[in-house]
Structure 1
Amino acid sequence: MAGERRSTESTTAVAVVIALAVAVVLGVVVWTSHRPTPSPPAAAPARTPVATPAAHVSPLTGQPGAAGSAVLAVKVDNSPQGRPWTGVADADVVYVEPVEGGVTRLLTVFASHLPPSVGPVRSFRESDIDLLAAYGRPALAFSGNAPELDRLVSSGPVMPVSPAQVAGAYHRGRGDAPHNLYGTPAGLVAAAQGVAAPRDIGFRFGAAPAGGQPAADVVETIGSTKVDVHAANGRYTVAFNGSPTVTANGPATVVVQRVPITTSAIHDVVGAPSPTAVTVGRGPVDVLRDGKRWTGTWSRPAPTAPTTFTGADGRPMTFATGPVWVLLARAPG
């Protein structure tokens, strides 16, 4: 009886173990069949394309490409004895100013292109100091000033690179003195350590605004010099007293900035008082481009500030892309 009881208990224990094992297996199967399927990993967010930087645009001409790393202003003779010039067609900006005797002189500004030679180089005027202040601290090439002007430029917002500072960057060319001095722009810029790079002086470039009056031929008078401007092939030719001086690669925009002309306290080397074109303040302006004329207002609150050109509709006046010439003509009244 005892042996039979032990056999029965052993059988029962084995059965229990088997039952538990089956239950465990069934539980694992059931749990596995009901476990949620893992979600696939989230896709990495798409990378935003990086825009290619736009080509650099010159603030002086609106043209893409290298704007230059330094601003060089050169005072150029515009008397009959000083023409034809050298290198002026490569200037980004050219100002035509009145000087003594009713003649004019050019203030040429280079940054995008430096010609091999420029000239004839002559003395600057009081007007140039205020004009160039808007450029920061540009280099200024000149020769043969009255003593008062030398003191003015030494304390002004320009870096002088006259023959007194950089004799090796000048050479004598055709004609007689003082109409035969020429500068080498590369040498002038190399000597001007810390000279300003091109910056915004107020010019705005873009499509021509609506309206505008046809004006293929325009005649202005600066001092007693007649300036003829003629539109041709998207540019302008320029003649002084009937003598053509710019017939190819001329300005794309001509700005006729009408300014007060005052008599300076500074005299030239023969004692004649110099006329001064006042470019700080406000006055009327004509913008010539694409064979048309737009009339508006120029405004400049301080010498270091850019000049704003505003149309009759209150919007900025836009210039055609390319070199800009500014005629500083006497304001009416």
Structure 2
Amino acid sequence: MDITRTRALRLVLPLAVLALVSGCSGAGFPGARDSSTTRAAQALAQQSGGDLQSEYQRVIKDVLPSVVQIQASRELGSGIVYDDKGHILTNAHVVGNEKTFKVTTANSENTLTARLVSSYPQQDLAVVKLDQVPSGLKAATFGDSAKVEVGQIVLAMGSPLGLSSSVTQGIVSATGRTVTEGSSDGGTGATIANMVQTSAAINPGNSGGALVNLNGQVIGIPTLAATDPSFGGSAPGIGFAIPASTVKTIADQIVRTGKVTDSGRAALGITGRTVVDQNYQPAGVAVVSVKSGGAADKAGIQAGDIITRLGDTDITTITSLTEALAQDKPGDRTSVTFTRNGSQKKADVTLGQQ
């Protein structure tokens, strides 16, 4: 997805909105009543602010012990205690290609060791397991992604820049985002659908931590922040988290069998590359090879074909094809428009699984 740069204006609002009244003074003038109304409004605002602060503190006290810091030889990130057996959930880009890690739990300086169970870079998720499970290890509670709504207050917990047990706050800015990670900056290059966009600050080291609602439920795994293309740095207030439903689907399989056997991700069964037109603009995806027995093979798509449309979505790059497929499920029927030897063709396809 393209993130365009905007200039933000900071607006400071008072705690309570005051009613302004003009007129003469007098025993029966409404201004006297407005004064008491103003004091009541201020008291109510202060009480509401105190209630919200108490909610924050309650959630932090409840969830933060389930958030850990993970140290690989080159990468530092965060993780979430998944169960009482010592399984820790994190991002695949945090573990990289390594097999052993150092783990520090919240409010503790004791370093634990852990080993990789399995990594699934296609969804940027991984599970590691503590070699020794400390007493009192508390598993996090995961929420229902379908109930996440724009405007919900959320807290991001993790170890940004190595500052363990850090908490930031924001709201759910959007849901259903499809985002493709970069691969040159340490990401896996994965295209992930249905991500939760949040204004809570997400910085290097937050990856693999917890995005939490005020019910103390993990609704997502903070994974990446948008970058400002004008400067190459992060775009403040635009971060993305993998939704809890996806997290549980992948993590449950890894914990149970040691690998992902049902990705839930649709696939055409091809390898491809972006092609450009005479103006050097992206113009489609050239099919390099076709998996025998895969969706494209069954539909008659061949190596050398150039895919230009999937269903109702124009395809110009390999990334746009991946993002379009991320919206579908294995078994869905769609159409593929492509050119072969200069002629446009169209095929009905039943999508397979990645």
Superposition TM-score tier, normalisation by shorter sequence? under 0.3
- Structure in which a larger fraction of residues adopt strand: 2
The higher-RCO structure (CA 8 Å, 6+ apart) is 1
TM-score (norm 2): 0.23
TM-score (norm 1): 0.23
